[in-house]
Structures are given as structure tokens and as C-alpha cells.
Amino acid sequence: MKELLQQYADYNIWATKQLVDRINKLSNKEINRELPNSFSSIYKTVKHMWLAEEVWWQRLKLVEHLVLESEKFTGSFTQLSITMAKQSTYWSDWIRASTQIQLIHVLEYRNTKRETFKQPINEVIMHLFNHATYHRGQLITMLHQLSVDKIPQTDFIVFSRLK
């Protein structure tokens, strides 16, 4: 299990970097253009991805009152992507240093509606990476809506072939 989670953590960093590197070549106007999607722009979608990783990270660390830098962030897309990459690295480093016991430990947390849940940490981590994959797919759709060419492939199998 640990090996698989580590592979997904590394994949998460790689796949997001592929897209972010391409997005960073766009104009600020394109990055912030209103597009029909879950979040109304590329910038807002990436900011949400960071928020999700930040929330789950603080839950994992048993922070009682979450302090979310992502909610008040107003910097450039480049700054956003650097900060999000740093957050993603925390996950990879934590998994690398974790034990099997830590990965199956049941985490109790509250969602944004203050409902309490208990789940093994490995399920939380898998959710986190699946969530990122979902939103990377939305980013690709948004890039197509902007008629962007040379959109990188971010499939897990492509990442796996690089080894």
C-alpha cells in the first residue's frame, strides 16, 4: 500500500506540474477568463486544488481550527503554482516517511458542514489524489475551451512509462 500511495503522490506532483507549466505560458487574461466549469476560471480551479490539499493536510496534522492560506491568497498564477507544488511535496514526503500503521490509522475529522467522519488515512490520501485528477481533467477541458495547443498528457500510464 505504501508503495502505491508513494507512486500516486509522485504522480500527483508530476501531472500537476505538466499542466501548470503549460498554463504559465498563457496570459493573465486567459488564466482568469470566465469559463463554464465547477470553478469559473483556471486560476480558481488551481486555487481550489491547493485548498483541498491544504485542508486535508491540516486534518491529517490534527489541526483543530484550520488556517487556510489558500482562501486569502491573491497572488499571481506563478506564485499560486509554486505554493501548491510545495503543499503537494508535503504529502509525498509524509508518505515516504510513514509506516504501515500510520497509513491504516483511522483519522477522525469534521467536514465543512461540521459533520464528523472516521476513515483510514490511506483512503483520505487516495481521495485527495483522485480529487486532483478530477480537477486536472477540468483544467484540460478549460485549456481546450481557450483553444490552447500542445496540452500535455497527464495520464498515470504516461507517468509510469517515465520510470
pLDDT in tens, 6-57: 999 999 999 999 999 999 999 999 999 999 888 999 999 999 999 999 999 9
pLDDT reading at 112 higher than 90: no
Per-residue buried b or exposed e for 69-107, using 16+ beta carbons within 10 Å of the residue's own CB: ebeeeeeebeebbebbeebbeebbebbeebeeeebeeeb
State the DSSP code for 155: -
Amino acid 144 reads H
What does DSSP say about strands 116-120 and 106-110: parallel, antiparallel, or unpaired?
A: antiparallel
Q: Where in the chain are the domains?
A: 2-24+35-63+76-161
Tens digits of residue pLDDT in 120-138: 999 999 999 999 999 999 9
Degrees, nearest 5: CA angle 158-161-163 = 130
Q: Which fold has domain 2-24+35-63+76-161?
A: Four Helix Bundle (Hemerythrin (Met), subunit A) (1.20.120)
pTM of the model: 0.93
pLDDT reading at 152 higher than 90: yes
Tens digits of residue pLDDT in 82-107: 999 999 999 999 999 999 999 999 99
